[in-house]
Amino acid sequence: MKAATWTGVNEVSVEEVPEPQLLNDHDVILKVKQSVTCGSDLHLLGGYIPFMRAGDVLGHEFIGEIVEAGPAVRHRKVGDRVVGAPFAACGNCWYCKQEQYSLCDNGNANPGITEGLWGQSPGGCLGYSHAMGGYAGSHAEYIRVPYADVGTFVVPEGISDTRALFASDAASTGWMGADLAGTKPGDVVAVWGAGGVGQMAARAAMLLGAEQVVVVDRLPERLQQVREHVGAETIDYSSTDVLAELRERTGGRGPDVCIEAVGMEAHSSGAAGVYDQVKQQLRLQTDRPTALREAVMACRKGGSIFTLGVFAAMVDKFPLGALMNKGITLRGAQVHAQRYIPELLERMERGELTTEHLATHVLPLSEAPRGYRMFKEKEDGCVRAVFTPGS
Amino acid sequence: MPLPKILARAAGLATEAGSGALQQLQHLRLPGVGQSSVTDDPDTAARRWRAVTVLADLEQLRAETPEPLARFGDRLEVRVTPAPGGRGAELAARFRSPVTEEELGELRSALREAKQRIETGEVLRNEPQPHGHRKQTPQGEALDGMVERAPKEGVL
Ligand SMILES: NC(=O)c1ccc[n+]([C@@H]2O[C@H](COP(=O)([O-])OP(=O)(O)OC[C@H]3O[C@@H](n4cnc5c(N)ncnc54)[C@H](O)[C@@H]3O)[C@@H](O)[C@H]2O)c1
Ligand SMILES: [Zn+2]
Ligand SMILES: [Zn+2]
């Protein structure tokens, strides 16, 4: 079959690869209908998470049809149209029972690598490097999904493929950020990053009752989408002093909840930007935490911050003093998609949550290299490139 | 022991290329993180109980030593105790006499397997997976070595 693979730093190819097989009794094989690029892939692509092997199949946000099911699969059947969760979660360990699915104890067959990095191993993620379990991803005609009763969700008929696709990751990640940061009615919420994840976090905050939601980015077409499709306010950080603006818009308090949806490759200008670039290149820090620093400084006293943006290891000049003295709560997580997908599909069906606008570029799988280039360089207003392997 | 050798050993890599690539990865790590023992002397390290917490019935777990551990026979002491807060049971094991790093690795993967069988009924497999052409590069080789060792490595 055809698949989009990582073949080196900043190099995506389309290759002929073997079809996946059922490896465990709880597996299904999906025929992929749509599979989308995610900001997390950019960190892999750029070599910031150095556990990719040339030839690895990318992709972890997808919708497809079940074409084969293992003997232990009870609640899904051949022919079901399903969205898949990015993380492989067994559903039976203590973490899964707490609905912390991305922390599943039994989802990563290579735990030694992540224990080496972080002291403990989170779960495994499809198409996300050998550190995260070495699973082949969804930018392919077929994908194997382990623990399918837990990790796939039947999509109600009324929801289009493209809307449902984003329940897989962008929408569930955004929802998780707003939810686990403790967003409640009356809150002011600021979101850094107007990509798929940031936009969905902003929408979630609104649906959870936030009084005011402000999204920070510099790309005009994305900020435009935020105003038009999400209904939140925006700040263009390239022309506005973000901290001053947020203070002015919040009666001098700062946001109650700050959601960081930018990650380790944050863009920044001026001296701080140069400093971070140099440090990263000299390997004195692995990640550029520009947006996270800003969130710590912006956040109101006693407020909460959630980092949805992916970080790999070390950051420098982290304002821990501000965090501690202002009594801020900082949390982060990889997506517990299994916890949120059912509710998101219901909201999608009711029309409360729309995602189609994120799919700015729908391309055949053969154009994956171009799709990734446009997504990485944010060319032609690309917010997400969606591949359609079946077509 | 020179640093590249220590690093190479830590990941079970013998090749020069492997240790070179791994050294580059050290900027990702905090010193000492990710090994089961950092300041222990080798004897203490070898005698430590290695434990996984299993969401399972204590009595059932006590009734029979899980198969992956039973394989070690008398060489292993096995202990099952309740885990606090409704987390099930703590399944711990240690060797009765000094063993090699390789044997410790076998124990790590046996404990992980035992837990998986009890909680999910099977052992997760990730081979073979679809993939494209594997270019032969030093980094690629190092990663292959790391992946092969990964089930036997880590803090357990
Ligand atoms: N936690 C999870 O499970 C999870 C899931 C999906 C994605 N992610 C992560 O979320 C992040 C965003 O994903 P995405 O798909 O939306 O990516 P994206 O690349 O499409 O969007 C990132 C946005 O951040 C903006 N940005 C860059 N620097 C900024 C700064 N200093 N201040 C404000 N905005 C800035 C960019 O202009 C861009 O619009 C990535 O780090 C990704 O890895 C995490
Ligand atoms: Zn993602
Ligand atoms: Zn689990």
Write the pLDDT tens digit of every residue in A56-111.
999 999 999 999 999 999 999 999 999 999 999 999 999 999 999 999 999 999 99
- Dist CA B50 CA B11 (whole Å): 19
pLDDT at A364 over 70: yes
Long-range CB contacts (< 8 A, 24+ apart) of A366-373? Answer: A366/A2, A366/A14, A368/A4, A368/A12, A368/A14, A368/A58, A368/A139, A369/A4, A369/A12, A369/A13, A369/A14, A371/A37, A372/A4, A372/A12, A372/A37, A372/A41, A372/A45
| Higher pLDDT pick, B12 / A334 | A334
| Higher pLDDT pick, A239 / A280 | A239
- The helix (run of H) or strand (run of E) holding residue A199 is helix A196-207
Report, as an integer, the average pLDDT of A131-137: 97
Do B129 and A7 count as a contact with CB atoms less than 8 A apart? no
Do B122 and A146 count as a contact with CB atoms less than 8 A apart? no
- Dist CA B110 CA B103 (whole Å): 10
Closest Cα to residue A332, out of A301, A303, A309, A361? A309
pLDDT band at B31 (very low <50, low <70, confident <90, very high): low
- Dist CA A169 CA A154 (whole Å): 15
Whether a cis peptide bond, with omega within 30° of 0, leads into A156 is no
Report, as an integer, the average pLDDT of A170-199: 98
Query: Can you list the domains of chain A with their CATH numbers?
Result: 2-169+335-388 (3.90.180.10), 173-332 (3.40.50.720)
Residues of chain A in contact with residue B55, where contact means CB-CB under 8 angstroms, are: 92-94, 97
* A178 touches A205 (CB < 8 A): yes
Report, as an integer, the average pLDDT of B35-62: 90
What's the confidence (pLDDT) of residue B8? Answer: 43
What's the confidence (pLDDT) of residue B29? Answer: 66
Please name the residue whose Cα sits nearest to atom 32 of ligand 1: A291
Q: Please state, for a pLDDT cut of 70, what percent of chain B lies above it.
A: 78
Cα dihedral A264→A269→A270→A275 (10° resolution): 20
Write the pLDDT tens digit of every residue in B111-136.
999 999 999 999 999 999 999 999 99
Q: Among all ligands shown, which has an atom nearest to the Cα of A382?
A: 1
Report, as an integer, the average pLDDT of B128-153: 92
pLDDT at B20 over 90: no
Give CA separation, A21 vs A67, A152, A242, in Å: 11, 17, 50
Report, as an integer, the average pLDDT of A262-266: 90
Query: Can you list the domains of chain B with their CATH numbers?
Result: 49-120 (3.30.70)
- On whether any CB of chain B is under 8 Å from the CB of A71, the answer is no
What's the confidence (pLDDT) of residue A305? Answer: 98
pLDDT band at B9 (very low <50, low <70, confident <90, very high): very low
- On whether any CB of chain B is under 8 Å from the CB of A26, the answer is yes
What's the confidence (pLDDT) of residue A170? Answer: 98
- Dist CA A154 CA A75 (whole Å): 10
Of B24, B140, B154, the CB nearest to A115: B154
**Lowest pLDDT segment from A103-107, B91-95, B150-154:** B150-154
Task: State which ligand 1 atom lies nearest to the alpha carbon of A267.
Answer: 28
Q: Among all ligands shown, which has an atom nearest to the Cα of A260?
A: 1
Q: Please state, for a pLDDT cut of 90, what percent of chain B lies above it.
A: 61
Of A24, A55, A134, the CB nearest to B122: A24
Closest Cα to residue A205, out of A159, A171, A238? A171
Write the pLDDT tens digit of every residue in A203-214.
999 999 999 999
pLDDT at A152 over 90: yes
- Ligand 2 midpoint to CA A172 (Å): 10
- On whether any CB of chain A is under 8 Å from the CB of B146, the answer is yes
pLDDT band at B25 (very low <50, low <70, confident <90, very high): low
- Dist CA A61 CA A337 (whole Å): 11
Rounded mean pLDDT of chain B? Answer: 83
- Ligand 1 midpoint to CA A193 (Å): 5
In one-letter notation, the amino acid at residue A11 is: E
| Higher pLDDT pick, B84 / B26 | B84
Residues within 8 A of B (CB atoms), A 323-362 only: none
